[in-house]
Amino acid sequence: MNPDLVPEEELLDRAWLAVDEGEYAQALQLLARLPSESRETCALAATARLELGDLEAAAAALERAAALGAGEDDPDLRWLRGELDLRCWRIDAARDRFRGLLELEDSPAALGRYALCCELLGDLEAADRAFERARDLDPDDWPLPPRLDEQEFSDLIDDAIARLPEPFREALEETQLILAPVPTAELVVPGDPAGTPPDILGLFIGRSKLEQSIEDALELPPSIYLFQRNLERALKTKVIDRTGLILEIFGARARTHEGVLQVELEHLQVARLGRDGHFQRCVREVDLVRVVGKTKPTRIYELLGFAGDEMPVEQETAMRSYAGALEIYRAQRWAEAERLLADVLRSRPDDGPSKVLLERCKLFAAQPPPEDWDGVFEATRK
């Protein structure tokens, strides 16, 4: 069949499937092939835009859905408007929308979002009542979050840090660790609310080691915020893997304002599931750096996830392209590496390592390193 002649219903089904599988850009591409919009396609586009962090485009899609007849009593529209308000940090408005949605349908998912809004507004009792109701409706998928007092949570973090591989602990020595119940609007970067979602588990603020090595500027020590209520809600179990928790915060599910936490880890430590059943760590190599005062270069990795995590095909493709670009960069084929990195940034425009390596390629293309260059970037400061 000619791909341009795919029936509209099949295109729509494929778009829904893409959203279910986390392939949001692909869903938008499929929707763009439809000859006209409907309330359903606009709502689906808004869902994809929300997940991609494009809040303005999500709002525009919701307005088009409303213009096509989706009323305020439409549960899907009310849910999406609540999500948009929540991700834009309009917490009072989001709470009201989810409360209104609960008047239409008493669903665990709506109760969960309403509870999050209550937590962000400081009404922890109302949040816990909503969690209890969600548990009553669906005990298997909505168990009550484990609750720890402040001392228990602090002890948990201390214990988790003590169990980390030495390079992680060294990276934390100059990092301020701040424990808080939930994130606050003050932590949101102005103009970029999507970068700090309200249900974020942890937040790294500052420059990563890689960025510090290439930008010779004085910076305040980095900080890591850990949000207890969000972490408790994400765990949904009484059994807490302490090391897994802290690595999860610092890696795949923690967001950063400026960079990622990167450390050197042995390949067998990060690339396989241990016989003791502990999680597998999925990483990508980011760089090879020699810092001032050291003769041995440090291999830099970014933690991407753990065993059981599903990596979207789009992300996996981008990571493979980055790995290819890194290899070509070390072979001093700057133009080829630039093309691959540009491909990565088209699908993942916020990928920090790709931005850094692209600038490095441009720098070396103008001022090449020695012919015997070993691929190691020489940092000018620790």
Contact 192, 87 (CB under 8 A): no
Contact 224, 177 (CB under 8 A): yes
- Residue ranges covered by each domain of the chain: 3-114
Q: State the pLDDT at residue 275.
A: 33
DSSP three-state, residue 115: helix
What number does CATH give the domain 3-114?
Answer: 1.25.40.10
Q: State the pLDDT at residue 213.
A: 46
Distance CA 271, CA 262 (A): 15
Strands 298-306 and 281-290: antiparallel
Q: State the pLDDT at residue 6.
A: 75
Per-residue pLDDT of the chain (382 residues; tens, 9 = 90+): 444 567 889 999 999 999 988 888 889 999 999 999 999 999 999 999 998 889 999 999 999 999 988 677 788 899 999 999 999 999 999 999 999 999 988 899 999 999 999 999 999 999 999 999 999 999 998 999 888 888 888 887 887 777 766 666 766 777 788 889 999 999 888 888 988 899 988 887 765 554 454 444 444 567 788 889 988 887 765 444 555 555 555 543 444 444 444 433 333 233 333 333 333 456 677 888 876 556 677 777 676 665 455 667 777 788 888 888 998 998 899 999 999 999 899 888 888 889 989 999 999 999 999 888 888 887 654 4
Burial class of 135 by CB neighbour count within 10 A (0 to 12, 13 to 18, 19+): middle
Q: State the pLDDT at residue 251.
A: 47
Q: State the pLDDT at residue 246.
A: 57
Contact 213, 379 (CB under 8 A): yes
Which DSSP symbol is given to 5?
G
DSSP three-state, residue 168: helix
Q: State the pLDDT at residue 100.
A: 93
Q: Which residues contact 363 (CB under 8 A, 6 or more apart)?
A: none
Q: State the pLDDT at residue 226.
A: 86
The residue written with tokens 């981008």 in the block is 318
Contact 337, 329 (CB under 8 A): yes
Residue of 23, 4, 28 lying closest to 12 (CA atoms): 28
38 CB neighbour count, 10 Å cutoff: 16
List beta partners, residue 287: 300
Q: State the pLDDT at residue 262.
A: 40
Beta sheet of 176-180, edge-to-edge order: 176-180, 223-227, 202-205, 255-256
Strands 377-378 and 281-290: parallel
Residue of 314, 172, 309, 166 lying closest to 234 (CA atoms): 309
